[in-house]
Amino acid sequence: MVEKGIKTYADLLEYEKTPLEQRLKAFNTYDLIKQGAALDPEALAISYIQSGDRYQDPVQIDYGTLMTNINRTANLFHHLGVGSNDVVSFLLPAIPQTHYVFWGGEAVGIINAINPMLETGTLRDILQAAGTKVLVALGDSPGSDIWQKVEQIRGDLPQLKTIVRILGSGEPAEGVIDYEQVIQDYNGDHLDFRRTIDPDDIASILHTGGTTGTPKLAPRSHLNEVTMALMVGIHNVFHPGETVLGGLPLFHNYGLMGTGLYPFSIGAHVVMLSPVGYRDPSVLQNMWKIIDHYRAVFFNVVPTVISMLLEIPREDADLSSLRFTICGAAPLSVDLANRFVAYSGAKVVEGYGLTEGTSSSSMVPINGVIKIGSVGLRWPYQEMKIFILDAAGHYLREAETDEIGSVCIKGPNVVKGYLEVHHNKGIWVKEGWLKTGDMGRQDADHYFWITGREKELIIRGGHNIDPALIEEPLYRLPGVQLAAAVGRPDARVGEMPVAYVQLQPGSALTEASILEHLNRTVGERAAIPREVFIVEQMPLTSVGKIFKPALQRATTRRVYRDVLQDLGNMVERVEIQVGEDKIHGSLALITIKPAPSADRETISRRVEQLLSVYTTRYRLILEA
C-alpha cells in the first residue's frame, strides 16, 4: 500500500486498519530527523541558494552536518537555561540556520516561529504572549529591518533573557550573543542533556494567518508534527535521495513540514530557494533552470506563483524529472491548472490545511483521480467532515453529499486549542472537532471542495456572496493574471461586490471590458461587481496568497473619501487611513484640517451623519 500510494477512499480505509502507533517511525521530531539522517550521513540534506541568479553556486549541507548543527544549537539553548517548557522565538529568513534553530529548539524546549515581516507592535504582542525566554534574530543586514525591530521591542519583553544574533553586523551588547562566534564551542555529536520527550509535549508555537486582530498562537505537540510528517508521505510524495524545492518561508506550516520535517525524516534533498523564496524575482525567473539543474521532482506553490511561472519561457530547460506540484492556500482555477500541466508536463494537485491542523488536512491523491478545484481526500487517521451549524455556530447535523457547510477536523495532527484561552471560545463544535472557519462540501467520491471562507464572504443585504463566483469567471478571461473580489462598503445593503484585477503583460483589457465580461458570466445576479479596478501589482502575503484585507481597506478608503467630499469648503484637507484594529477588525482613521472659518462641531456632526451608515468604524481627528 505504501509503495503504491493511496489512490481512492477505499485505499485510505484499508491503510487505516494498521494502528497509527505502528506507522510512526518516532514519537518526537528530534528522533525522527535523527533516524532520517542515519540512513546516509553523507547524503545531501540541504542545498541553499542565496538568489535565483546564483542557483549553480549553492551552500551544501550533508545529513551528518545537519545533525551536528541541530545538536550544537540545542546544546546552546540548554546552556542558556532553556528547559522543556521554555520558549525560544525566532525572527529569521529561510536560511540553513533556521532549520538548526527550529529543530534544535524543539529538542530542548518549545520553538516559536514568527513572520519577521509583521509590524513591530504585532511582533511584540506575539513574543510577549508566547513568554519568550530566548530570541533568535537576524543581525543588521542590508535589505532587512529585523534587527531594527528587535532593538525597538526588546525592552518590552520581561521574560527575555538572551538574544542570539545570527549573521549580520552588530556591536557587542549586553544580553546579546553572536551565533557564529559561539556555536563551535558546543557538542555536535549528541545532546548534552537528558530529556524524555512525551508525544504530547509542546514542540512549537505558530501564529495563525488570521486577517484581523492580533494573531492567535497555536501550540503543536511532537505527536502533531510527527503525525503530519507521516501523513505527507502517505501519498508516495517523494522518496529518499530525491530533490524537492522549498520556496515557502520557514515560519510557514508547509515550509516546515512539507519541505522540512518530512524530507529530512526520509533522507531526501531539500533545495532552499533563497532567504525569501518565491518573493525573490530571480528565483521565479530561473525556476525552470533550477528544476533542470537539480533534477527536482516536486515543489509546492500557491496559485499566484503558478500564474507567474506561466509567463516565464522554458527555453531549453529539461523538466522531465518534475512529477508534480502541490498547490494550496487559495482556490486554483481549472484553466490555470490545465495551462500549467500543458506547459510543464507535471501534475498539479491541490491540498488543504491550516496552522491548527499542523499544516495539512487533505490532498488530492497524486496517483488517483485528479479533480481540479478539489482539495482531495482527508488524510488517514485524521477525520474531516462537513457539519451544518446553527446561527450561533452550534452543531446541528452532518451535511449530506454535496451540501455546503462548515469544514471541521479532528485527529492526532489537530491542536488542542490556542495558547490564550479566550481565543478558544466557539472553536469546538463537538468533542474534539475543530471548526476551521472554511465552508465546503464533500462529493460522492469523498473528495472535499472548499467553497469559501466564512469571514471572506461578501454580505449584501443579508445575501452571502462567495468571492469565487466572481473570481472564477475572471480567471477564465484571457489576459487576467490575478483576480480578487471583495466587499465595498454600501450605505444601503452593507456591502457590494467589487473586483480587483492584475493583467498579464501586454493585455489590452480595460475595466469596462472586464465588467462587461462579468455581466455575461457571473451566474448570480447579486454577485455581479459594481466596479472593477485594474491594479499594477496585487498585494500578496509572504507565501504568495492575495492579501484581501489590503484590497478591502483600499476600497473602504476610496468610499469614505468620496462620501466626505460632501464636506465641501468646510475643510482644507481630508486624509484617510484604513488599517487593522484589534477590537473592530478594521478602523478608518480620518484626519481633517478644517477651513479657518469652519465650526469644528459642525464638521464632527456632519462626518457622523455621512459615515454612520457604514459598518467600518472610524476615528476622527480634527487638526488644530
Where would I find the beta strands (DSSP E) of 64-212?
Answer: 87-91, 110-113, 132-138, 162-166, 176-178, 202-207
CATH of domain 554-622: 3.30.300.30
Residues in the chain: 624
Strand partners, 464: 459
CATH of domain 9-190+198-448: 3.40.50.12780
- Contact indicator for 214, 208 with CB cutoff of 8 Å: no
- Cell numbers representing residue 382 in the block: 485524521
Q: What pLDDT, on the 0 to 100 scale, is given for residue 3?
A: 43
When pLDDT is averaged across residues 335-351 and rounded to a whole number, the result is 88
Evaluate whether 457-546 and 554-622 have a shared fold: yes
Q: Is the pLDDT of residue 425 over 60?
A: yes
Q: What pLDDT, on the 0 to 100 scale, is given for residue 211?
A: 34
Q: What is the pLDDT of residues 554-574, one digit of tens each?
A: 999 999 999 999 999 999 999
| Average predicted confidence (pLDDT) for the chain | 91
Of 1.10.3720.10, 3.40.50.880, 3.30.300.30, 3.30.479.30, the CATH number of 457-546 is: 3.30.300.30
The Cα angle at residue 131 between residues 125 and 137, in degrees rounded to 5: 75
Q: What is the pLDDT of residues 453-477, one digit of tens each?
A: 676 778 786 567 888 889 999 999 9
Q: What is the pLDDT of residues 3-51, one digit of tens each?
A: 457 899 999 999 999 999 999 999 999 999 999 999 999 999 999 999 9
Q: What pLDDT, on the 0 to 100 scale, is given for residue 254?
A: 84
d(CA 87, CA 419): 12
Q: What is the pLDDT of residues 298-324, one digit of tens each?
A: 998 877 788 889 889 999 999 999 999
When pLDDT is averaged across residues 123-143 and rounded to a whole number, the result is 94
| Alpha helix stretches (DSSP H) within 404-448 | none
Strand partners, 349: 326
Q: What pLDDT, on the 0 to 100 scale, is given for residue 582?
A: 57
Q: Which residue has the higher pLDDT, 155 or 117?
A: 155
d(CA 557, CA 552): 9
Q: What pLDDT, on the 0 to 100 scale, is given for residue 209?
A: 54
- Contact indicator for 272, 46 with CB cutoff of 8 Å: yes
| Alpha helix stretches (DSSP H) within 80-137 | 96-108, 120-130
Q: What pLDDT, on the 0 to 100 scale, is given for residue 212?
A: 37
Domain locations in the chain?
A: 9-190+198-448, 457-546, 554-622
Label residue 596 exposed, middle or buried (CB < 10 Å: 0-12, 13-18, 19+).
exposed
Which among 387-396, 428-437, 524-533 has the top mean pLDDT?
A: 428-437
User: Of 344-348, 419-423, 524-528, 584-588, which range is least confident?
Assistant: 584-588
Q: What is the pLDDT of residues 172-226, one digit of tens each?
A: 888 999 999 999 999 999 999 999 999 999 999 999 854 334 568 999 999 999 9
Q: What pLDDT, on the 0 to 100 scale, is given for residue 119?
A: 79
d(CA 108, CA 241): 28
